[in-house]
A and B are shown apart, each in its own frame.
Chain A
Amino acid sequence: MDVALLVQVVLNGLMLGALYACIAVGFSLVWGVLNIINMLHGSLIVLAGYLTCSLWTEAHIHPFASLIPVGLVIGVGAAVLQFVLINRVVQQPVLTTLTLTFGLDMILYNLMNSVFDATPRRVTLDLGRVTLGEVVLPWDRIAAMLVALALTALLYGILRGSRLGRAIVAVRMDREAASLMGIRVPRIYALTFGLGAFMAGVCGALLSIVYPITTNATGQLLGKAFIVCVVGGLGTVPGALVGGLALGVTESLGSHWFGPQAAALLGFALMLALLVVRPTGLLGRKGYE
Chain B
Amino acid sequence: MSLFLSRPRRQWAACLLALTAALAVPAVQAQTLKIGAPLALTGGLADEGKKQQVAYDMWLKRVNAAGGITVGGKKVKVELITYDYQTNEQRASQIAEKLITQDKVDVLTAPFGSGHTKVVAGVAERYGVPVVASVASSESVFNQGYKFLFGTLAPNGGLTDALVKVVTKQMPTVKKIALLGREDVFPKSMAASMADAAKRAGIEIVYNELYPVSTMDFSSPLSKMRSVKPDWIFMSGYTKDLILARKQMADLGVTAPVITMITGPAYREFAEALGPLAENVTSATWWSPAVSFKSDDVFGSTQAFVDDFRARGEKGEPDYVHASAAAALIAVQKAAEIAGSLDKTKLRDALAALELKTFYGPIDFTGNGMNAARELPIIQVQGGRAVVLAPEAIRQSTLRAVK
Residues of A that sit less than 8 Å from B by CB = 2, 5, 8-9, 12-13, 15-16, 19, 110, 113-114, 117-122, 124, 126, 129, 131, 136, 138, 140-141, 210-212, 214-217, 220, 223-224, 251-253, 255-256, 259-261, 263-265
21 contacts between A and B (CB under 8 A): A5-B224, A12-B217, A12-B219, A12-B220, A13-B220, A16-B216, A117-B46, A117-B47, A118-B47, A119-B47, A121-B272, A122-B243, A124-B273, A129-B253, A131-B253, A136-B253, A211-B216, A220-B214, A252-B220, A261-B209, A261-B211
Binds A, one of B62-70, B123-131, B244-252: B244-252
B72 sits at the interface (CB 8 A): no
Q: Which chain B residue shows the least CB distance to A264?
A: B212
Task: Judge whether A259 and B209 touch: CB under 8 Å.
Answer: yes
User: Which of A13, A113, A255 is most buried by chain B, counting CB atoms within 10 A of its CB?
Assistant: A255
- A212: which of B211, B224, B243, B251 is its contact (CB, 8 Å)? B243
- A118: which of B46, B180, B211, B212 is its contact (CB, 8 Å)? B46
- A263: which of B220, B227, B239 is its contact (CB, 8 Å)? B220
3 closest Cβ contacts across the A-B interface? A255-B220, A138-B251, A124-B275
In chain B, residues 267-308, which have Cβ atoms closer than 8 Å to a Cβ of chain A?
A: 269, 272-277
Task: Judge whether B269 and A120 touch: CB under 8 Å.
Answer: yes
Q: Which chain A residue shows the least CB distance to B241?
A: A212
A241–B293 alpha-carbon span in the complex (Å) = 58
- A5: which of B223, B244, B277 is its contact (CB, 8 Å)? B223
Task: Judge whether B275 and A118 touch: CB under 8 Å.
Answer: no
Q: Which chain B residue shows the least CB distance to A223?
A: B214
Q: Which chain B residue shows the least CB distance to A121?
A: B273
Task: Judge whether B240 and A260 touch: CB under 8 Å.
Answer: no
Minimal beta-carbon separation of B117 from chain A (angstroms): 19
A118–B47 alpha-carbon span in the complex (Å) = 6
Q: Size of chain B's interface in residues, with CB distance under 8 A? A: 41
Residues of B with C-beta under 8 A to A217: 216, 240
Minimal beta-carbon separation of A193 from chain B (angstroms): 25
Residues of B that sit less than 8 Å from A by CB = 42-47, 50, 180, 183, 209-212, 214-221, 223-224, 227, 239-240, 243-244, 247-248, 250-253, 269, 272-277
Main SS of chain A's interface residues? helix
Main SS of chain B's interface residues? helix
Task: Judge whether B210 and A260 touch: CB under 8 Å.
Answer: yes
A138–B210 alpha-carbon span in the complex (Å) = 24
Task: Judge whether A141 and B251 touch: CB under 8 Å.
Answer: yes
A263–B223 alpha-carbon span in the complex (Å) = 15
User: Which of B43, B214, B223 is most buried by chain A, counting CB atoms within 10 A of its CB?
Assistant: B223
Task: Judge whether B42 and A126 touch: CB under 8 Å.
Answer: no
Q: Which chain A residue shows the least CB distance to B86?
A: A110
- B273: which of A120, A141, A220 is its contact (CB, 8 Å)? A120
Minimal beta-carbon separation of B228 from chain A (angstroms): 11
Residues of B with C-beta under 8 A to A260: 180, 209-212, 215, 218, 220-221
* Known interface pairs A2-B227, A261-B183, A261-B209; A212-B44 also in contact (CB < 8 Å): no
A268–B216 alpha-carbon span in the complex (Å) = 15
A251–B240 alpha-carbon span in the complex (Å) = 20
A126–B246 alpha-carbon span in the complex (Å) = 12
A216–B239 alpha-carbon span in the complex (Å) = 11
User: Which of B216, B244, B277 is most buried by chain A, counting CB atoms within 10 A of its CB?
Assistant: B216
Task: Judge whether A15 and B219 touch: CB under 8 Å.
Answer: yes
Task: Judge whether A9 and B223 touch: CB under 8 Å.
Answer: yes
Residues of A with C-beta under 8 A to B47: 117-119
Task: Judge whether A264 and B215 touch: CB under 8 Å.
Answer: yes
Residues of B with C-beta under 8 A to A118: 43-47
Residues of A with C-beta under 8 A to B253: 129, 131, 136
A53–B246 alpha-carbon span in the complex (Å) = 19
User: Which of B210, B217, B240, B250 is most buried by chain A, counting CB atoms within 10 A of its CB?
Assistant: B217
Q: Which chain B residue shows the least CB distance to A255?
A: B220
Residues of B with C-beta under 8 A to A251: 217, 220
Minimal beta-carbon separation of B32 from chain A (angstroms): 31
Residues of B with C-beta under 8 A to A261: 183, 209-212
Q: Which chain B residue shows the least CB distance to A224?
A: B216
Minimal beta-carbon separation of B288 from chain A (angstroms): 19
Residues of A with C-beta under 8 A to B45: 118
Residues of A with C-beta under 8 A to B244: 211-212
Task: Judge whether A220 and B227 touch: CB under 8 Å.
Answer: no
Task: Judge whether B214 and A216 touch: CB under 8 Å.
Answer: no
Task: Judge whether A110 and B227 touch: CB under 8 Å.
Answer: no
A256–B207 alpha-carbon span in the complex (Å) = 12
- A120: which of B42, B220, B240, B251 is its contact (CB, 8 Å)? B240
Task: Judge whether B215 and A263 touch: CB under 8 Å.
Answer: yes
A126–B250 alpha-carbon span in the complex (Å) = 9
Residues of B with C-beta under 8 A to A211: 216, 244
Minimal beta-carbon separation of B207 from chain A (angstroms): 10
- B251: which of A2, A9, A129, A253 is its contact (CB, 8 Å)? A129
Task: Judge whether B42 and A113 touch: CB under 8 Å.
Answer: yes
Minimal beta-carbon separation of B247 from chain A (angstroms): 7
Q: Which chain A residue shows the least CB distance to B183?
A: A261
Please name 8 further chain A to chain B contacts, defined as beta carbons within 8 Å, in addition to the given A16-B219, A118-B46, A260-B218, sorted by A numbering: A8-B252, A12-B223, A16-B216, A110-B43, A117-B47, A217-B240, A252-B217, A265-B212
A220–B223 alpha-carbon span in the complex (Å) = 23
Q: Which chain A residue shows the least CB distance to B275?
A: A124
Minimal beta-carbon separation of B69 from chain A (angstroms): 32
A126–B276 alpha-carbon span in the complex (Å) = 10
Q: Which chain A residue shows the least CB distance to B268?
A: A119
Residues of A with C-beta under 8 A to B243: 120, 122, 212
Task: Judge whether B212 and A263 touch: CB under 8 Å.
Answer: yes
Q: Which chain A residue shows the least CB distance to B208?
A: A259
Minimal beta-carbon separation of B305 from chain A (angstroms): 22
Residues of B with C-beta under 8 A to A253: 220
A56–B210 alpha-carbon span in the complex (Å) = 34
* Known interface pairs A216-B44, A216-B240; A256-B252 also in contact (CB < 8 Å): no
Task: Judge whether A136 and B252 touch: CB under 8 Å.
Answer: yes
Task: Judge whether B215 and A110 touch: CB under 8 Å.
Answer: no
A167–B4 alpha-carbon span in the complex (Å) = 74
